[in-house]
């Protein structure tokens, strides 16, 4: 199994550099590949901030990528939950924090937007008392 970096996933999805995109496709389509959740986080950030993907477009693209036959995602249930929350309007990094904290009583933050959006989609988040 090969572990891959965010730049391979970005090239695979965006194809902005044909040579690198072809190399990424050869690796991802022909070899079992491992993708750390931190690589998914970086990929989402690059797609959104550099390539102008919307949060929901990122979530859809990464969900589809995670379903490829040779791709194994680190902690797939948590990443899937985070991608679902991102489709609901949460920033993906925040969604991943919340998904990884699922066994905790609640998530505490000063970020009012996070609290508002998380509550809207039914996730327990609060500000410090």
pLDDT of 129 above 80: no
111 belongs to a structural domain: no
For 69-93, what is the mean pLDDT?
Answer: 92
pLDDT of 96 above 80: yes
9 belongs to a structural domain: yes
Which residue segment(s) compose the domain that 60 sits in?
Answer: 2-102
**∠93-89-16 over CA atoms, to 5°?**
65
**What is the pLDDT, as a whole number, of residue 22?**
97
**pTM of the entire structure?**
0.88
| DSSP symbols for the chain | -EE--HHHHHHHHH-SSHHHHHHHHHHHHHS-EEE-HHHHHHHHHHHHHTT---HHHHHHHHHHHHTSTTEEESSHHHHHHHHHHHHTT--HHHHHHHHHTTTSS-EE-S-HHHHHHHHHTT--EE---
120 belongs to a structural domain: no
φ and ψ of 72, to 5 deg: -120, 120
86 belongs to a structural domain: yes
**What is the pLDDT, as a whole number, of residue 121?**
83
For 42-55, what is the mean pLDDT?
Answer: 95
82 belongs to a structural domain: yes
For 42-68, what is the mean pLDDT?
Answer: 94
**What is the pLDDT, as a whole number, of residue 51?**
96
33 belongs to a structural domain: yes
7 belongs to a structural domain: yes
Instruction: Name the maximum alpha-carbon separation found in the chain.
Output: 54
For residue 20, give both structure tokens.
């690198």
What span, in angstroms and rounded, lies between the C-alpha atoms of 51 and 120? 28
For 93-109, what is the mean pLDDT?
Answer: 91
Span 14-40, pLDDT tens digits: 999 999 999 999 999 999 999 999 999
Q: How many domains does the chain have?
A: 1
123 belongs to a structural domain: no
For 48-74, what is the mean pLDDT?
Answer: 94
């Amino acid at each position: 199994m090969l572990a891959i970096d965010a730049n391979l996933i970005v090239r695979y999805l965006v194809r902005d550099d044909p040579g690198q995109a072809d190399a990424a496709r050869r690796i991802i389509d022909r070899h079992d590949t491992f993708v750390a959740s931190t690589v998914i986080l970086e990929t989402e950030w690059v797609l959104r901030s550099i390539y102008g993907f919307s949060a929901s477009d990122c979530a859809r693209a990464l969900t589809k990528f995670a379903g490829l036959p040779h791709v194994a995602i680190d902690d797939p249930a948590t990443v899937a939950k985070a991608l679902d929350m991102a489709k609901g309007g949460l920033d993906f990094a925040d969604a991943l924090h919340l998904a990884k904290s699922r066994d905790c009583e609640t998530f505490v933050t000063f970020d009012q937007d996070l609290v508002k959006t998380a509550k809207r989609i039914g996730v327990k988040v609060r500000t410090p008392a």
